Amino acid sequence: MFEAVELTQIIMLIGIGFIAGAINTFAGGGSNLSLPALMMVGLPADVANATNRVAIFMQSLTASHGYYKKDKLEIGSIKNIIVPILLGGLVGAIVASYLSVEILKPVLLVTMVAVSLWVVFKSDSKNTHNQVIQCSDNKWGFLTTFIAGFYGGFIQAGVGFVLIAVFVGVLKYDLLKANALKVVAALLFTTVSLIVFIFRDQVAWMAGIYLAIGSIVGAIVSVKWSIDVKPRTLKILVLIMTIVASIAALLL
């Protein structure tokens, strides 16, 4: 669907897209800003949820390329998560295309708070590559990665925290590698999700494109800054992002 967007709405969407793109690339929770913004321009919740994926796709593609150029992504790590993430994203998107996004509000809040506590207090940022758990060899690793993909395909908002928790707490990646791998996971499940939503004609393209423009710039800025951040600093900022995202979700 191609609906007209007013100038003031265009400016707002680009600005919110920039902030959301930076937040999503760095930690997570940006969709708690972009989803309300899309609804503010008159989109129903289900259409806003679908349209938001246009920006997520573009910012994830941009961030993934940026991290790859900075040698922060390993092909082996991507292969490790690709199957459960794609399967989870596909199932989650199909369910989301038929259900109201409002159903997940309580789940969203509980998930973000639980995950933030897990990442800050329980995760070990000193894990090495040799300790990484392979999804193909570990049923729990496969299941939790699938669930993260499902959640991302379903609603996306707050999924960065879920992905970090799974990659650090379950698969045993260090926090810096997990943060880079997170954007690739988002790109994977967003790709299949967007295909589902396009097939269902639930994407408002003009609003999505303007949001994506800001998101791309935000992702570029965030990648340049986040690759040099210390693990301890990243943990603290993840917690701050969680609190901010939780407050935003409460106000929806």
SS3 137: coil
Residue type, 202: Q
pLDDT digits (tens, 9 = 90+) for 32-70: 778 777 877 778 777 888 888 888 888 888 888 877 877
Continuous H helices in 97-138? 105-117
Q: Which residue has the higher pLDDT, 123 or 222?
A: 222
**Side-chain half-sphere CA neighbours of 234 within 13 A:** 26
**Side-chain half-sphere CA neighbours of 167 within 13 A:** 29
Taking the C-alpha atoms of residue 47 and residue 11, their distance in angstroms, rounded to an integer, is: 20
Residues making up the chain, counted from first to last:
252
Residue type, 2: F
How confident is the model over 20-43, as a mean pLDDT? 76
pTM over 0.85: no
First to last CA, the chain: 25
pLDDT digits (tens, 9 = 90+) for 177-232: 887 888 899 899 999 999 988 888 888 888 888 888 988 888 888 776 666 666 56
150 token code pair: 């499902």
pLDDT tier at 7, thresholds 50, 70, 90 = confident
Q: Which residue has the higher pLDDT, 103 or 128?
A: 103
